[in-house]
């Protein structure tokens, strides 16, 4: 499946469990410019709801897409401000 947006940076948090995927995602998104997209690769199934919840409650970020693979969960977060 191809994504319709341009990924600016990829964050690999495979092997990390809650809350590290969210902590690392926040840190990485802080370094990006407005409009940039961060791709997050995680192996923790909980990251689906964790990153969704974090993005929903965080101003300046938008969860664009999530893909649930066999071993890897992909999250696409856009910095909106």
18, 20, 48, 64: which is the annotated catalytic residue? Answer: 18
Indicate if 18 belongs to the active site: yes
DSSP string, 5-63: S---EEEE-TT--TTHHHHHHHHHHHTSPTT-EEEEEE--TTHHHHHHHHHHTSTTEEE
Q: Which residues are catalytic?
A: 18
């Amino acid at each position: 499946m191809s994504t319709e947006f341009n990924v600016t940076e990829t964050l690999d948090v495979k092997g990390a469990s809650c809350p590290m995927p969210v902590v690392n995602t926040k840190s990485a998104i802080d370094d990006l410019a407005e409009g940039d997209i961060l791709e997050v690769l995680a192996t923790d199934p909980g990251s689906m709801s964790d990153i969704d919840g974090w993005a929903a409650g965080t101003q300046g970020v938008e969860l664009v897409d999530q893909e649930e693979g066999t071993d890897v969960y992909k999250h696409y977060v856009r910095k909106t401000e």
